[in-house]
Amino acid sequence: MAVSKFEVPELKGYTVIPLVRMDAAAGIKSFPANAPIQEAIGFPGELPENWQEIAIAKMGELLGKYRSLQVFMDACVHCGACTDKCHYYIGTADPKNMPVARQDLMRRVYRRYFTFAGKYFPQLVGAKDLTRDVLDEWYQYYYQCSECRRCSVYCPYGIDTAEITMAGREILDSVGLGQKYTNEILGKVHRIGNNLGLPGPALMDTLSGLEEDVEADTGVAVKFPIDVKGAEVLLITPSADFFSEPHVESLIGYAKVFHAAGISWTLSSMASEAGNFGMFIGSYDQLKKVALRIRQAALELGVKRIVVGECGHAWRVAYSFWNTLIGVGAGGQDEYARMLQKQLDSNYPQPAHICEVTYDLLQRGAIRVDKEANDHRIITFHDSCNVARGSGMGGIPGGQFIIPREIIKSVANHFYDMAPETIREGTYCCGGGGGLLTDDLMELRVKGAQPRMDALQAVVENHGVNFMATICAICKAQFTKVVPYYGFEMGMIGGVHQLVSSAIILDPNK
Amino acid sequence: MSSLTIFYAILFYLATVVLVGGVAFKIYVYSRTPSPLRIPTMPAPMTQSGMVARMAREVVLFQSLFKSNKWIWIFGWMFHFGLLLVLLRHLRYFTQPVWSWVVLIQPFGRYAAFAMLAGLLGLWARRFLVDRVRYISTPSDHLMLALLVAIGASGSAMSFLVHTDIISLKAFMLGLMTFDWQPLPADPLLLIHLALVALLMIIFPVSKLLHAPGVFFSPTRNQIDDSREARHVAPWAAQLDK
């Protein structure tokens, strides 16, 4: 058990909704970004004198640009349906971590400056001036939301707190209050090409090392190609897959799948990152800029298909936003989008998730597996929030739940789901998504993981589960760090393609 | 023409203008505001008809609320469908001759008032009893419930306890609609009921009652899962391509 400076929640095997404890998470605050970090991605370096004016103007601008924000500010009736749905509320008991209360931090200000009732009867409707204290509270609690959208499943009007958190962060950035972790990473993507800041040569070195390891392990020369022009598939994967454990095990899995199926593929040193933290700060501009690197790489390498590795928010961006942002998909009208449409193979969904690719190959018998290779594992699957509630797979509603599970069941004999209210669209966030995967938020991350840990505890006790598979780089990083606090082994966390990697049969003659 | 009749006639014209104008304006704002990115809460329907069915399940059955919390769902549904029946029943005061289906639902509409009141009281109780809901409740949340309870109670009282001069009331209402004003009976209970209804109509477009038109514009519910097949570039976002 790791030593901690805060109280780690005790597991019960089921979720208990705590009573409200005022300001229970008031001491948790992530490090703000310094001026160079902010300025590198086009935000002010410090709070300007007329910040209030700027912030209100920004809010007005966003209300006019996003129907979601405009409708969500008006529609809430304070019914309370969402109050027990956020993992951070369950873990910390701080009432400001209830979705409605988090929204109300902004809704109060919206009412004060943009509605008749709030202008003339502020006390009646709980409207508030945008003071420095309110701004600081925004920073604190908008960086205690992982934008997992669980609340949006349960709201009778579909109010999605993530949209409000994103708007809040965008307003904060516009007055120079950014978060160090997220904004520093965005700078790295623009400067170097990936979130980890790995330069091309380091990447190539790592990949050749992986080739040696896999060959030593299997006797088969599985390649990890990079910047290969004319390859069929461009694989866009989170940079954690190159260096972190257990992420790299899944990268090996993707390579083995492509190898076994005889599909030529390549990584790109320019677009060596699937993650797009532009979404976390709600910046359309950043989202688009980060995504454009992928279009550029696809065009330069002349690939026929774009496939995305195991990364939750990246798959949401790819599935739901890429087509709109940069024309990867169908229906694009601008010059580059048309160029890309012409180049990409329309027989495949664009972009495709690696799970869609592997599932299809398994279905067609194009790759073969030895299920018994995973017999030492008793497996459960954690649905990652952005995959579950923000994307799809396989062209069928709910495909994002079915396909990863079907892959697991095809490559392993022992699979058990966690409690139904904690999986699929009701899945609990790992506790580290949405720009919160930083050590300065460790207390929040540990407490936010509690609902998932409770559900895991139940399948560990009832079925002896010893492996929790997931298809998200953030989930993997968060869980490996957090599960020891709850008495689990970090080795029980891994990827779906890690399981595929163990079971796939490679032909030594290929 | 008594000053009371004139006051109420003007009040109802004003309330109607505010309600219709205010809600129309909000609907205009919602429909004009773009949705630059697809954000349906997945899994989402992949066809237009699937989306309409999802929205219908939300609006008629309160599907998401049912998943969320059975108490709020029961009370909320009792209130809203009680209110719907009560409102439909009230059409008899605005039509001559009364439509036959409105005649048919009269008894249901009368007793639906109890479902409506029970639902409201249940929802109100939660604002005191559940600590999380107590925390988020503002004075306007309580006042809104008080207003609705008062409207329901005063209406039920006239229906079940102290009958008012319903013939004259109907003449007054039909008169308002044809701009041929007729005297309003000076029954205190009726005057309270009507004044509160007018107040509710006026408050509607500047309050959380906007959830009624809002739900139809909620992007997480009214969007289709088709992002890989179709682009959805908002006009302001298209500018960034240039």
Instruction: Using alpha carbons, select from A254, A249, A247 the residue that is nearest to residue A196.
Output: A247
CA–CA gap between residue A316 and residue A503 (Å, rounded): 28
> How many percent of chain B have pLDDT more than 70?
100
- Determine, for residues B231 and A337 on separate chains, whether the beta-carbon distance falls below 8 Å: yes
Q: Read off the pLDDT band of A510 (50, 70, 90).
A: low
Instruction: Please report, for the domain that includes residue B194, its CATH number.
Output: 1.20.950.20
Q: Read off the pLDDT band of A4 (50, 70, 90).
A: low
Determine the pLDDT at residue B134. Answer: 97
Question: How many Å separate Cα B148 from the centre of its chain?
Answer: 11
- With a CB cutoff of 8 Å and minimum separation 6, the contacts of A473 are A238, A240, A241, A244, A247, A275, A310, A311, A312, A314
Instruction: Using alpha carbons, select from B223, B220, B207 the residue that is nearest to residue B23.
Output: B207
pLDDT tens digits, residue range A214-241? 999 999 999 999 999 999 999 999 999 9
Determine the pLDDT at residue A75. Answer: 96
Q: How far is CA A249 from CA A46, A220, A263, A310, A430, in A?
A: 42, 16, 19, 11, 20
- With a CB cutoff of 8 Å and minimum separation 6, the contacts of A459 are A380, A416, A417, A418, A465
Q: Which of A100, A149, A156 has its CB closest to that of B65?
A: A156
Q: How far is CA A145 from CA A87, A438, A467, in A?
A: 9, 13, 27
- Most confident residue range from A324-338, A340-354, B18-32: B18-32
Examine the pLDDT at A441 and tell me if it is beyond 50: yes
Residue B177 is assigned to a structural domain of this protein = yes
- Determine, for residues A66 and B230 on separate chains, whether the beta-carbon distance falls below 8 Å: no
Residue B41 is assigned to a structural domain of this protein = no
Q: Read off the pLDDT band of A455 (50, 70, 90).
A: very high
pLDDT tens digits, residue range B156-196? 999 999 999 999 999 999 999 999 999 999 999 999 999 99
pLDDT tens digits, residue range B76-130? 999 999 999 999 999 999 999 999 999 999 999 999 999 999 999 999 999 999 9
Please list, residue by residue across A258-289, b when 16 or more beta carbons sit within 10 angstroms of its beta carbon and e when fewer do. bbbbebebbbbbbbbbbbbbbbbbbbbebbbb
DSSP letter at A502? H
AA letter at B152:
G
Average pLDDT value over all residues in chain B = 96
Determine the pLDDT at residue A85. Answer: 97
Interface residue of A68, A108, A315, A356 to substitute, partner B, most B CBs within 10 Å: A68
- B chain contacts of residue A72, beta-carbon cutoff 8 Å: 218
Residue B159 is assigned to a structural domain of this protein = yes
Examine the pLDDT at A103 and tell me if it is beyond 50: yes
Determine the pLDDT at residue B102. Answer: 96
AA letter at A476:
K
Q: How many domains are contained in chain B?
A: 1
pLDDT tens digits, residue range A254-264? 999 999 999 99
Q: Which residue has the tokens 């079940």?
A: B160
- Determine, for residues A68 and B143 on separate chains, whether the beta-carbon distance falls below 8 Å: no
Residue B166 is assigned to a structural domain of this protein = yes
- Determine, for residues B229 and A330 on separate chains, whether the beta-carbon distance falls below 8 Å: yes
Q: How far is CA B187 from CA A394, B10, B93, B183, in A?
A: 66, 18, 17, 12
Examine the pLDDT at A47 and tell me if it is beyond 50: yes
Q: Read off the pLDDT band of A1 (50, 70, 90).
A: very low
Residue B42 is assigned to a structural domain of this protein = no
Gap from A9 CA to chain B (nearest CA, Å): 20
Mapped onto helix, strand or coil, the DSSP state of residue A493 is: strand
Q: Do A87 and A451 contact (CB within 8 A), yes or no?
A: yes
Query: Which residues are paired to A469 by β-bridges?
Result: A381, A494
Determine the pLDDT at residue A332. Answer: 74
CA–CA gap between residue A204 and residue A379 (Å, rounded): 33
pLDDT tens digits, residue range A468-485? 999 999 999 999 999 999
Higher-pLDDT residue of A278 and A342 is A278
Mapped onto helix, strand or coil, the DSSP state of residue B148 is: helix
Q: Read off the pLDDT band of A2 (50, 70, 90).
A: very low
The average pLDDT across A66-89 equals 97
Residue B239 is assigned to a structural domain of this protein = no
Residue B56 is assigned to a structural domain of this protein = no
Q: Which residue has the tokens 């179709």?
A: B230
Find the angle CA(A48)-CA(A50)-CA(A54) to the nearest 5 degrees. Answer: 90
Examine the pLDDT at A509 and tell me if it is beyond 90: no
Gyration radius of chain B's alpha carbons: 21
Q: To which H or E segment does residue A459 belong? A: helix A450-463
- With a CB cutoff of 8 Å and minimum separation 6, the contacts of B185 are B164, B165, B168, B169, B172
Chain A: residue nearest B37 by CA?
Answer: A321
Written as six digits, the tokens of A9 are: 């929640």
- Determine, for residues B136 and A78 on separate chains, whether the beta-carbon distance falls below 8 Å: yes
The average pLDDT across B41-48 equals 97
* Orientation angle between helical segments B3-32 and B188-203, nearest 10 degrees: 20
CA–CA gap between residue A157 and residue B221 (Å, rounded): 8
Q: Do A135 and A175 contact (CB within 8 A), yes or no?
A: yes
Mapped onto helix, strand or coil, the DSSP state of residue A131 is: coil
CA–CA gap between residue A315 and residue A308 (Å, rounded): 7
Residue B59 is assigned to a structural domain of this protein = no
AA letter at A483:
V
CA–CA gap between residue A437 and residue A478 (Å, rounded): 7
Gyration radius of chain A's alpha carbons: 23
- Determine, for residues A83 and B136 on separate chains, whether the beta-carbon distance falls below 8 Å: yes
Q: To which H or E segment does residue A163 belong? A: helix A161-174
Average pLDDT value over all residues in chain A = 95
Phi and psi at residue A381, to the nearest 5°: -125, 130
Strand order of the β-sheet with A233-236 is A265-266, A233-236, A305-308, A352-353
Written as six digits, the tokens of B89 are: 């029943």
Residue range(s) defining the domain that contains residue B167? 66-216
Weakest mean pLDDT among A82-91, A336-345, A353-362, B27-36: A336-345
Q: To which H or E segment does residue B1 belong? A: none
The average pLDDT across A403-429 equals 97
Longest C-alpha distance within chain A, in Å?
79
Chain A: residue nearest B38 by CA?
Answer: A320
Give contacts of A 268-297 with B, CB under 8 A. 284-285, 288
Phi and psi at residue A147, to the nearest 5°: 55, 40
CA–CA gap between residue B72 and residue B62 (Å, rounded): 10
CA–CA gap between residue A469 and residue A493 (Å, rounded): 6
Chain B: residue nearest A288 by CA?
Answer: B240
Give contacts of A 421-480 with B, CB under 8 A. 425-426
Q: Which residue has the tokens 């969402």?
A: A82
- Determine, for residues B43 and A392 on separate chains, whether the beta-carbon distance falls below 8 Å: yes
CB atoms near residue B200 (< 10 Å) = 18
CA–CA gap between residue B30 and residue A75 (Å, rounded): 11
CA–CA gap between residue A347 and residue A256 (Å, rounded): 23
The average pLDDT across A138-154 equals 98
- Determine, for residues B211 and A66 on separate chains, whether the beta-carbon distance falls below 8 Å: no
Q: How far is CA B216 from CA A72, A240, A254, B55, B68, in A?
A: 12, 41, 42, 7, 19
CA–CA gap between residue B29 and residue A386 (Å, rounded): 29
The average pLDDT across A27-55 equals 96
